[in-house]
Amino acid sequence: MVVSSGDPEERRRQAHTKALYPAPLNPGRSRNMQANRRSNTKPELALRTALHRLGYRYRKDLLLKLPDARVRPDIVFTRRKVAVFVDGCFWHVCPEHGRQPTTNEWYWAPKLRRNMERDGLANKALGEAGWKVIRIWEHEPLDGALAAVRSALD
Ligand SMILES: [Zn+2]
CATH number for the domain including 130? Answer: 3.40.960.10
For ligand 1, the distance from its centroid to the CA atom of residue 28, given in whole angstroms, is 14
Residue 98 reports pLDDT greater than 80? no
| Domain assignment present for 121 | yes
Into how many domains does the chain fold? 1
**135 close to 85: Cβ distance less than 8 angstroms:** yes
The pLDDT score that the predictor gives to residue 99 is: 66
Distance between Cα 20 and ligand 1 center (Å): 24
Instruction: Find the 139 Cα to ligand 1 centroid distance in Å.
Output: 5
- At residue 68, the pLDDT reads 85
In-domain check, residue 42: yes
Q: Which amino acid is at 81?
A: K
Domain assignment present for 82: yes
- Residue 2 included in any domain: no
Assess if residue 32 is contained within a domain: no
What are the pLDDT digits (tens) for 7-37? 545 444 444 433 333 333 444 444 444 444 4
Range of the domain at 55: 38-153
Distance 67 CA to ligand 1 centre (A): 31
Q: Is residue 10 domain-resident?
A: no
CA of 47 to the centre of ligand 1 (A): 16
Asked if residue 25 is part of any domain, the answer here is: no
In a domain, 68, yes or no: yes
